[in-house]
Amino acid sequence: MASDFSALSSGLSELMVLRLLQRQEMYGYEIVQAIAERTAQVLSPGEGVVYPLLHALEKSGALKSRRKTVGGRSRIYYSLTARGAKRLAAMADHWSALNGAVGMVLHAV
Amino acid sequence: MRFENLREVLLASGIAPRHVRRYLAELSEHLDDLTRQQRDAGYDAEDAASRARARLGSDTELASAMLQHKQFRSIATRAPWAVFLLLPPVAGIAAAFALIAPLVLAAHIGRMTSPHGILAPLWFQQTASAVTLLGNLVLVPLLAMRFVMLADRQRMARAWPLLAVALLVLLDLQFQADFPPPGHRGGSLGIGAALWLHHPGNLLNTWPLALVQLALTLLPVLYLCWTRKRIV
């Protein structure tokens, strides 16, 4: 049933990834765990699907990446760029407007 | 090997090998983290591995996520006609010029050239002979191999690399260096392409070299046949 509503959540992953990376650099596993935790598992697709999104955002200049070794494990860490910050601000504004508009329809008497 | 089916699906769908490599490497690291998480939660090794793999996503889901992004497709699969039809002759001619240009430059800088030909010292003659040999026997086969491997990496139809190899054969790049003994003026250094078009009779004189060139250029095709059999 959830897949019937996948169109509704398209674009949300990008918004959440950009928001999470605004605070600190993270690697893929951390990002996915943070999304699942902060959305109370409501948004938990196959965890691996986050990587094509990360790569696409990096290619568009919204993210940058670097390989870093922490605790003996080498991982690719992603962080937000200035372009990514602008994109996040625009997406967040759009999402707030959309959320408000949908809310008005759903809660209309 | 981990994700072997996913790798094949992505390559055959046109995703560039470097993007496939990076994706699979990150998936592999993610799977390690998930497996460790499941082990910490108390599952035995087998259960932990299968639960981690399920959480990562099915091959279909993982492939679909990557295939949504058209920018990860390689140029070879986006425009095979440009890579396997236009590029072979252009690459062949460019490589030939790149190979011979340092020699021509050296001849000019060293004032070896004159209207009566080249007055070439022994080192120049030996270098020119080596370059000629390289150009005639190695350059085109290497280019052919490059196109074959390019197509093979993307699991493309055999027709594309065969087309590229056929064009390289028809291009028929020929390097030539003729010099009199050191101290005498004369001689020449040059490259030619598709000479068979204008001077078909020359093939009667140069057929041994042409045959060797042809055989070496067609070698990558054997490689292609062998690898495809291995994959099937």
The C-alpha of A26 sits at a distance from chain B's nearest C-alpha, in angstroms, of 13
Question: Measured between CA atoms, how close is A103 to chain B, in angstroms?
Answer: 30
Q: Does A76 touch chain B (CB under 8 A)?
A: yes
Q: What pLDDT band is residue A6 in, cutting at 50, 70 and 90?
A: low
Inter-chain residue contact B72 with A55, CB threshold 8 Å: yes
**Residue in A48, A53, A55 closest to B56 by CB:** A48
Confidence bin at B232 (pLDDT 50/70/90) = very low
For the cut 90, the answer to whether the pLDDT of residue A7 exceeds it is no
Q: What is the pLDDT of residue B115?
A: 74
Task: Report the amino acid identity of residue B212.
Answer: V
- Summarised one tens digit per residue, pLDDT across range A17-33 is 999 999 899 999 999 99
Among candidates A32, A42, A21, which has minimal Cα distance to B37? A32
Contacts with B, A 19-38, CB within 8 Å: 27-29, 32
Per 3-state DSSP, what percentage of chain A is helix, strand, and coil (rounded to 5)? Answer: 65, 15, 20
Which tens digits make up the pLDDT trace of A57-101? Answer: 999 999 999 999 888 888 999 999 999 999 999 999 998 888 888
Would an 8 Å CB–CB cutoff place A47 in contact with chain B?
Answer: yes
Give the pLDDT band of residue B231 (cuts 50, 70, 90). very low
Predicted confidence at residue B75, as pLDDT, reads 93
Is A3 buried (19+), middle (13-18) or exposed (0-12) by CB count in 10 A? exposed
B129-B134-B135 Cα angle (round to 5): 95
A contacts of B30 (beta carbons < 8 Å): 28-29, 32, 47-48, 51
The larger pLDDT score, comparing residue B227 to residue B34, is at B34
Mean pLDDT of chain B, nearest integer: 87
Is B84 within 8 Å of chain A by CB? Answer: no
Give one word for B22, left, alpha or beta, with left for phi > 0 and alpha for psi -120 to 50: alpha
Domains identified in chain A and CATH numbers: 2-106 (1.10.10.10)
Question: Whole-angstrom Cα distance, residue B99 to residue B131?
Answer: 7
Task: Reply yes or no on whether the pLDDT at B68 is more than 50.
Answer: yes
Q: Nearest-CA neighbor of B164 among B77, B81, B85?
A: B85
The CB-side HSE value for B106 (13 A sphere, CA atoms) comes to 14
pLDDT of residue A78: 97
Please say whether the dihedral angle defined by the alpha carbons of residues B107, B195, B158 and B62, taken in this order, is positive or negative. Answer: positive
What gap in Å lies between CA A92 and CA A26, rounded to an integer?
A: 20
Contact between B69 and A52 using a beta-carbon 8 Å cutoff: yes
- Single-letter amino acid code for the residue at A59: K
For B78-116, the pLDDT digits (tens) are 999 999 999 999 999 999 999 999 988 888 888 777 777
What residue segments make up the domains of chain B, in order of their start? 4-72, 76-231
Q: Does B27 touch chain A (CB under 8 A)?
A: yes
pLDDT higher at B9 or B158: B9
Can you tell me the mean pLDDT for A38-64? 87
What is the average per-residue pLDDT within A100-108? Answer: 85
